[in-house]
Amino acid sequence: MTNWCPVSVRSGRWRRCRSAVSLRAGAVGLAALPLAGCIPAGAPAIPMFGAYFPSWLLCAVIGVLGAVLVRLVFVRAGIDDALPVRLPVYVCVAAGIGFAVALLGFGR
């Protein structure tokens, strides 16, 4: 079934109209294209102390410890006093270290 729409009211010509449903389906398909490489492999887990811990937990702990070490280096170098907003800087440093550990250690 084809929908026909007037090109202009005065000309009396008609053309095929794209329905909103087909445009929406194309947009959803295009948006889902980057997800084609995703596979349901499950979250990586690390066995510690007889239990399985998610890898992001270990990455977060390493990130926080790394941010503490970076802060100690900044304090010794005198950079810590020059930071206008310390908390967001150290949170971003911790997140960056945690993401780097996750990428290098687990490939995710």
Give the span between the Cα atoms of 31 and 22, in whole angstroms: 14
What pTM did the predictor assign?
Answer: 0.58
Per-residue pLDDT, averaged over 92-97, amounts to 96
Per-residue pLDDT, averaged over 45-64, amounts to 85
Residue 71: pLDDT above 80? yes
For the chain, the structural domain boundaries read 4-37, 45-106
Give the span between the Cα atoms of 51 and 28, in whole angstroms: 40
pLDDT of residue 89: 94
Give the span between the Cα atoms of 93 and 6, in whole angstroms: 59
Residue 13: pLDDT above 70? no
Give the span between the Cα atoms of 86 and 106, in whole angstroms: 30
Q: In sequence order, what DSSP letters do the residues of 18-66 get, joined into one string? A: PPHHHHHHHHHHHHHGGGGG-------EEEETTEEEEHHHHHHHHHHHH
